[in-house]
Amino acid sequence: MFKGGIKLLDFKSLSKNEPIEEFEYPEKVIIPLSQHTGSPAKPVVKKGDYVVEGQIIGEITGFISSYIHSSVSGKVIDIIPWDLPTGRKSLSVIIESDGERKSIEKKERNWLALSSEEIIDIVRESGIVGLGGAAFPTHVKLTVPPGKKADFVIINGCECEPFLTCDYRILKECIDEVIEGIQIICKATNVKKAFIGIESNKIDLIPVLNNSIKNLKIYVEIEIKILPTKYPQGSEKHLIKSILNREVPSGGLPIDVGCIVFNVQTVLAIKRAVCNGIPLTERVLTCTGLVGTPKNLKVKIGTPISKILSYCNGELKYGRKLVTGGPMMGIQIYDLETPVIKGTTGLILLPEEDLPEEIQPCIRCGKCIEVCPMFLLPSEIGRYAEFGRFDKCENLNVFDCIECGCCSYICPAKRPLVDFIKCAKFKLRKK
């Protein structure tokens, strides 16, 4: 078990029992060319072009980049900068759908007949990125760097952020495909053993997982690990520590300790791309919180958030805020025409907190240090960042911060510690 972290009320019962529902085919989609970590894709369509579902509209521009596909059939009406849920802007392809659902030809394949390189190529061409929120290109993760060796594949089924239940529903409804996806990943990375990490608040999934493993033809060893429900259990580094007691070094990656970690929805996307020829054009997200009808929805990438919110009977009004992602690491949204992107795990309507008008001084209670799962000194980093001493933040290993939000959550003085930290990282990267 890892040190630090916090126990949170999970609010998952709001949407946990809602089966995945296919959201309406959008009339218009806004598809950003930068939805992933790395360099933005380059547009390969122009205004006036007709496109079909699954057609490439943005081309990869480097090793750490991703292809972008159209999620509907219809006409490209513009290519302009648009706000992303992350607060940045990205050149985006606007497509008016014709409702015809025309699609590229989908190619069925037997993954057992494919080589590791062929699997990785398919994943790259299908535009798959980490669907747990980080949106790191998956083909890069699958490519084990020279001199490194992957011992284990770890599947993150923790979904440790409160409110979110889309991964839970995927494990419940699509488990056979997920198990197949795990084996495809093991083949691509030449690994013989995989773990699935599940938090104890999803214990009802154990028989579902066991049945699937028992009934399917399994070529690798798959072990289920039940982990305590503690935030941020689903962070890659903490998952590895909890399952294998291995510690990723400061500045290092999971592969440095022989592990590669994937979110369950990413595994499903890999299976569908490799076996069924389906590129990443949709994802499952949870729309919950103060909405009238919380739901788990399968949504086309590029669908405006406003449509989903009104479908779930939610209204953004005075005293409320809308967050994309989980409540701990998510980002507040102000413009409802912002589109769903590959990394959008959830839309959560929450009450606006009463924050002090001015930043309050630290009372030196030490609580932020106790909960920090990365052994950092958030109070000190925050203090230096507040006064622009970013060099000091660097000395205090600010880049090891995973932005989990535990420090801000626990701080009795309501100091915006994660915001200070994000600001320090931004300034230091610009240096």
Residues that bind ligand SF4 (CB under 6 A): 362-368, 371-374, 376, 378-379, 382, 401-407, 410-413, 415, 417-418, 421
Least Å distance, CB 409 to ligand SF4, is: 8
Residue 338: closest CA among 48, 61, 35? 35
Between 32 and 327, name the residue whose CB sits nearer to ligand SF4: 327
Least Å distance, CB 418 to ligand SF4, is: 5
Residue for token pair 């989903």: 308
Least Å distance, CB 356 to ligand SF4, is: 12
Between 102 and 414, name the residue whose CB sits nearer to ligand SF4: 414
Least Å distance, CB 344 to ligand SF4, is: 21
Between 325 and 405, name the residue whose CB sits nearer to ligand SF4: 405
Phi, psi of 399 (to 5 degrees): -75, -10
Phi, psi of 96 (to 5 degrees): -90, 120
Between 162 and 382, name the residue whose CB sits nearer to ligand SF4: 382
Between 26 and 232, name the residue whose CB sits nearer to ligand SF4: 232
Least Å distance, CB 36 to ligand SF4, is: 22
Query: Hey, is 409 helix, strand or coil?
Result: helix
Least Å distance, CB 378 to ligand SF4, is: 4
What residues contact 295, with CB distance under 8 A and at least 6 apart?
15, 18, 21, 286, 287, 288, 311, 312
Least Å distance, CB 140 to ligand SF4, is: 23
Residue 421: closest CA among 388, 389, 398, 391? 398
Between 6 and 213, name the residue whose CB sits nearer to ligand SF4: 6
Between 226 and 402, name the residue whose CB sits nearer to ligand SF4: 402
Distance CA 336, CA 343 (A): 17
Please check whether residue 56 is in contact with residue 41, taking contact to mean a CB–CB distance below 8 angstroms.
no
Residue for token pair 């490439």: 56
Planar angle of CA 86, 75, 343, nearest 5 degrees: 20
Looking from the CA of 192 toward its CB, the CA atoms found within 13 Å total: 0
Please check whether residue 323 is in contact with residue 11, taking contact to mean a CB–CB distance below 8 angstroms.
no
